[in-house]
Structure 1
Amino acid sequence: MPAEDWRRRYPLFPRLLFVLDGTGPVGVDNRVNALRSGSELTGADFLAALPILVAPLTDILRDGPSAPIWRPVTTPTEQVTWTHQR
């Protein structure tokens, strides 16, 4: 049986989204690094299976949550949409 049209376009879940507030760019970098370090402790399978994305609240308020403002903790210099798939 073919999948419904919306299922072909909708991203797979789960994923973790962290919204950061009360910090500047340096603080965001520090928190992304801390999240990456913490997630690495759970093992490579966890990071491969569960996308972890981070965005500052100021960017969400300015551009909206669907904008490419989310930074994957595995590649923090990249900015993607929250529906980004590897």
Structure 2
Amino acid sequence: MPVIPGHRPTVQEPAVEEWRRRYPLFPRVLFVLDGTGPAGAENRIRALHAAVGLLARFPYDVPVLAAPLADLLQHGPCAPVWRPVHDPGQRVSWTESGHRQA
């Protein structure tokens, strides 16, 4: 926005971080869980879900998904083996956010 001498802008546009110009959507955060077996993976997913409350809106604005490595090896990374940490009862593909549209 050019500066005009003697003129005061009445509305200031909010600053936009440089990365948001190139990436209008924040990339997904994917957790691959290994070395714990099914019960350990379940515990880790529950721990991530519990931490969601500490992250304010982050897990709703940014898809955060977790999947056991064994499921990825068996079904492939594009299969609906990913569990959104905000709703670990769901199973989605990594390209889905797990957020239900209103």
TM-score normalised over the length of structure 2: 0.66
Match of 1:80, SS state, is coil
Which runs of 5 or more structure 1 residues have no equivalent in the other structure? 1-11
Code of the aligned partner of 1:19: V
Matched, 1:64 2:65: no
Aligned partner (choices 24, 27, 33) of residue 14 of structure 1: 27
Identity of aligned residues (%): 53
Aligned residues: 74
Instruction: Report the equivalent of 1:80.
Output: 92
Q: Deviations over 1:49-70 (max 9, x none)?
A: 0111111111111111001100
Is the 8 Å Cα contact of residues 60 and 86 (structure 2) preserved in structure 1? no
| Structure with larger Rg | 2
Higher relative contact order, structure no. (Cα contacts within 8 Å, ≥ 6 residues apart): 1
Q: Which runs of 4+ in 1 moved over 6 A?
A: none
Q: Give the alignment's Cα RMSD to 1 decimal.
A: 1.3
Q: Which has the higher helix share?
A: 1
Distance 2:86 2:55 in 1: 14
